[in-house]
Structure 1
Amino acid sequence: MSLPYAHGETAVTDPRHITAFDGRMPSAPGDLRVEARGITPVPEDARYGGPGRLFTVWFAPNLTMTGVFTGTVGVTLGLDFTTALAAVVLGTLLGAVPTAYLGTWGSRTGAAQLPLARLAFGGSVALPGALQWLSSIAWDALIGLFGGDALAQLSGWPFWAGVLVMLAAQGALGVLGYEAIHRLQTVMTFALAAAFVLLAVKLLHGTHAAQPATAHGADRAGAFVLTCTVALSLALSWAPYASDFSRYLPPTASRRRMFWCTLLGIGVSFVAVQALGLWGAAEFTDQTAHGVDRLLGGGVLGTFGLLAVALAALCSNAMNDYSGSLALQTMGVRLPRPVAAACAAVLGFPLVLWMHAADTTARFQNVLLFVGYWIPAFVAIVVVDWAARARVRGGRPVDLAEEAARPQPWWPALTAFVVAFAAAVPFMDTGLYVGPAARALHGADLAYPVAFAAALLVYAPLRLRRAHDHT
């Protein structure tokens, strides 16, 4: 499998690769024509925009009822509002920091996140690529569940019809690509922020905060850790997408500003919506859209709230479809990027119906955790590889063509990736499986930090030793 070089070339001259992976790029802010560009890096002379747009592109897609619904987890586990909120803030910060850091690589390379991972994984990048593609479909379902429900209630359609229209709209936006997504998120940042402020005001005046804690001692500690892990999983789920939405920024863009705009966009939005879920846990049951309509009193405000829920799902899932298309190409599938984006939306439909058909709460939490268990090891591996390359380069600017000339064997990254996941299994806590370590820790899910630490311990000695050999 070839690594795209820095100026549009690939490691092979097969025209099938060039046709599928290359293509038309947006040329400036507001260029809303279909982006055909796939995983081939964006040339420096085609870059545009500033770091400020990273705040809105990461803020708006998180103002979804998925985040609100996730926020109710701490209360259902028996935590009081203050303790649960502390867990949410801590978990969100832990997940947002690596995402913000990885996002700074986009302007430095012009490359998306999964294609960049080929530097570390070589041909074995097909495994994280497949997991990322499947994760994007799962997120379509997690978020489309609420967006489709809101649209169905708003229009009087059956649930399946609301979901179908929602997925069709997000697929169309994913087909349009990078600039259309950035532009929509800029507009929706203000519209959705207004909707959620209205929701917060209604909650504060009409709903009491969660009841006092019902979990105590070790059970309370376990519930705190699990709540933190769920919040972490939300923020960290963006990590394999991170540079996808900064790859058109010029190399002169301030990496410090890029980092902080991304961190604040993810952190503020996720903490806000989960805090709403914690405060109004009694209102936000499985029928979350109905809870929003009832809370806002129906009528014009209820309609506005339901429309906001639907539009928020559209914003978020368009990014899932976009990054899913790049992940599919990274696996070596020669589908044009717009076609691959549409496929992700189509495949999300049956998963939404499955989640809606039975215990939504249990299925939601299971899917949410399972789609992210692989990400900590992925982050650890690509960061170590990047650090090793920086050490060899001695501070010189990144050049993908030069980096591709120093290929890494595929087995160290793959070995660390598999070992890390295996090490995490005993610490997992889901409705489908509770590992012995998680059970002993009173439900505390430590799978994420365990996977990260295991990947570092296995991969770092192998990779840094090779870096030393090249110095």
Structure 2
Amino acid sequence: MPDQPVVEKHTIGYVPPEDRHGKVRDLFTLWFGTNIAPLPVVTGAAGVTVFGLDLFWCVVAIVVGHLVGGVFMALHSAQGPQMGIPQMIQSRGQFGSFGALIVVVIAAVMYLAFFASNIVLAGQSLHGIADPIPVEAGIVLGALGSGLIAVIGYKVIHSLNKVATWVLGIGIVLGTVAIFVSGLPAGFWTQGGYSTAGFLATVSLGALWQIAFAPYVSDYSRYLPAGVGVRATFNATYLGCTLGSILPFTFGAIVALAMKPGIEVMTGVRDTTGAFGTPLLVLFLLSVISHNALNLYGTVLSIITCVQTFVATWIPTARSRVVLSLLVMAASTYFAIGVSGNFISHFVDIVLALLVVLVPWTAINLIDFYLIHRGNYDLDSIFAADGGIYGRFNGQAILAYVIGIIVQIPFMATPLYTGPVADRLDGADLSWIIGLVATAPIYYLLARGRKLAPSELAVA
């Protein structure tokens, strides 16, 4: 196999066997290292600061949410080596070339939200390290660092996370020990309590954290040789992402209980971890710059997918990806500076809203890949202007998707809307469970009689 270029040459096209490289264990370090970062720390703290749980119930909810959500995330990851194409392009096999735009646009918005949120935290981390540096300047520096990594692409993203797994993993464990060694505040063990609404909301945050990776997780496994298999890809991804997420989420809950009221969580990290405070902020700053490149990378691939849908003859190059990365980075930085003062409330609102629209897509994609097509798709049709055998719109998938969203409405509990069932359950959000349970069988029943193309039947 020839040496891989420094700047990734592929965008949304099929990765041929001669360009495949890497080991399946790289997926563990990628997803473990990616999740040791400020944003999961802040999100884990929400179980205490927003939903009022005590430490025990918060940790239980965090573990349950990630273990359940991680199953779906890892099943998406396992598609990468088998298909050799990005996840959003592969969705054309379920929704049709134009129908898939529904999900692609939603995914792009999600990536932008995470990218903007992460560079806000980069700015807050840098400000916490050196007070004279304003948060806005830190946001700009964080965006520039992530942009450079995203421009280089797949190979450097994997390489950086191999280092991050060890450095950040050890760092956050030492930070946790430091909180307990330095002395816990009065009431640490008695703050908060159990509530069904708070517990389910925290479970939902953990599950969504995992499901939120689903639209792009296979982008980082598509370069692996197809022979690595579904099981090995699933296991490496699942263990890396769940363990890597549970650790910082739990750390965030501990920090929230130990810090003084009314301060930012990242400031709380510095104040509660003693001598480890500043080194941890430095590590988190480097982490958010590194892993936030995934969000920028995913945004750009989604935009390219949208454009290529309407201009099928366009063959996007590395230059296209670089130019789009710079434009998206600039726009996101401008937005992040504007919302940095009210970051947490904006982020939680976005997370809870995304849960409603991501869950039905996840169910449809997984049912179609594993039970309907069994991993065998006609690639020529996926890249065809008219969608080939998949057409421009697949009414079966779109109908199941719409139903999957509608059935969640009575069970939703978000800052924007609370459904009647959720209201009777004191705000407990069961919508994502209902969405999964309803969408999967509906789509299976609609699609199981779907006619496969000869190219699919040959290996089905």
TM-score tier (shorter)? 0.7 to 0.9
Query: 5+ unaligned residues in a row in structure 2: which ranges?
Result: 309-313
* In the alignment, structure 1 residue 357 sits paired with structure 2 residue 341: yes
* In the alignment, structure 1 residue 417 sits paired with structure 2 residue 401: yes
Match of 1:138 among 106, 109, 113: 113
Instruction: Give the AA of the match of 2:284.
Output: V
Q: 1:86 to 1:302 in 2, by over 3 A?
A: closer
Corresponding position of 2:413? 429
Match of 1:212 among 190, 206, 213: 190
Q: 1:212: Cα distance to partner?
A: 3.3
Q: 1:289 to 1:72 in 2, by over 3 A?
A: closer
Corresponding position of 1:106? 80
Instruction: Give the AA of the match of 2:16.
Output: P
Q: Distance in 1 between matches of 2:217 and 2:20?
A: 17
The 5-angstrom pairing of residues 158-177 of structure 1 reads 158-177=134-153
Match of 2:161 among 176, 179, 185: 185
* In the alignment, structure 1 residue 71 sits paired with structure 2 residue 55: no
Q: 1:177 to 1:131 in 2, by over 3 A?
A: same
Q: 1:96: Cα distance to partner?
A: 0.8
Q: 1:244: Cα distance to partner?
A: 0.1
Q: Distance in 1 between matches of 2:329 and 2:168?
A: 22
Corresponding position of 1:276? 251
Q: Distance in 2 between matches of 1:353 and 1:434?
A: 30
> Residue 252 of structure 1 aligns to a residue in which SS?
helix
* In the alignment, structure 1 residue 238 sits paired with structure 2 residue 213: yes
Q: 1:38 to 1:190 in 2, by over 3 A?
A: same
Corresponding position of 2:268? 291
Corresponding position of 1:203? 179
Q: Distance in 1 between matches of 2:274 and 2:436?
A: 45
Q: 1:83 to 1:297 in 2, by over 3 A?
A: closer
Q: Distance in 1 between matches of 2:215 and 2:422?
A: 26
% identical aligned pairs: 27
Q: Distance in 2 between matches of 1:32 and 1:283?
A: 47
Contact conserved, 1:174 with 1:321, CA < 8 A, in 2?
yes
Match of 2:369 among 386, 393, 418: 386
Q: Distance in 2 between matches of 1:346 and 1:326?
A: 17
Q: How large is the Cα RMSD of the aligned pairs?
A: 2.5
Q: Distance in 1 between matches of 2:35 and 2:237?
A: 12
The number of aligned residues is: 434
Q: 1:166: Cα distance to partner?
A: 0.3
Q: Give the TM-score taking structure 2 as reference length.
A: 0.87
* In the alignment, structure 1 residue 337 sits paired with structure 2 residue 312: no
> Residue 336 of structure 2 aligns to a residue in which SS?
helix
Q: Give the TM-score taking structure 1 as reference length.
A: 0.85
Corresponding position of 2:10? 37
Contact conserved, 1:146 with 1:288, CA < 8 A, in 2?
no
Corresponding position of 2:90? 116
The C-alpha deviation readout for 1:197-249, integer Å capped at 9, x for no partner, is 22111122233684436556xxx122211110011111111111111001110
Q: Distance in 2 between matches of 1:185 and 1:124?
A: 34
Instruction: Give the AA of the match of 2:68.
Output: L
Instruction: Give the AA of the match of 2:323.
Output: V
| Mean CA deviation greater in 457-466 or 160-169 | 457-466
Q: 1:186: Cα distance to partner?
A: 0.9
The C-alpha deviation readout for 1:106-161, integer Å capped at 9, x for no partner, is 11111111111111011211111111111100001222221221123334311111
Corresponding position of 1:455? 439
The C-alpha deviation readout for 1:306-360, integer Å capped at 9, x for no partner, is 11111121122101111111111221256622223333322322332343223x4
